[in-house]
Structures are given as structure tokens and as C-alpha cells.
Amino acid sequence: MNNRIKELRKQNKITQEALAEALSVTRQTIISLENGKYNASLQLAYKLAKFFGVKIEDVFIFEEE
């Protein structure tokens, strides 16, 4: 699962620390999400989409294996 978190974060000029703070997660989680090492839960995916004011499918790109 790819995502556009880094792109959206930079567009909105937000630091990883600020994003982590807003979502109540650690900065390491944001780093792992951006690097594609960790896939967010549905709850966190909703929080991310809500934070950026976009749909979930605009943040996460589903690729069928």
C-alpha cells in the first residue's frame, strides 16, 4: 500500500512532529508510514484523511498484488 502522506504534509507545510502531535501518534509512526514500512490502521487512515481534508483514497493508493 503506497501513500501520499509525505506529499500532503509538505503541501500543507507541516512537520512530522506536528502531524504526529495532531494525530496522537509518535513521530516514528509518521516516518514509518511515509517510508511505506508500516500500514496505518483504518482508524489512523481516517484521522489522516480528516486532518488533510481529503478522502482516504486520496491519501492511500491501493495496489492489488
- Which residues contribute to the site for other proteins (CB under 8 A)? 20, 24-26, 28-29, 32, 38, 40-41, 43-44
Residue 56 to residue 47: CA distance in whole angstroms? 9
Which are the contacts of 55, defined by CB distance < 8 A and separation ≥ 6? 49
Q: Least distance (Å) from other proteins to the CB of residue 38? A: 6
Percent helix, strand, coil in the chain, to 5, is 60, 5, 35
Using the minimum distance from each CB to other proteins, give the nearer residue, 11 or 39.
39
Nearest-approach distance from CB 12 to other proteins, in angstroms:
21
**Smallest distance, Å, CB 35 to other proteins?**
12
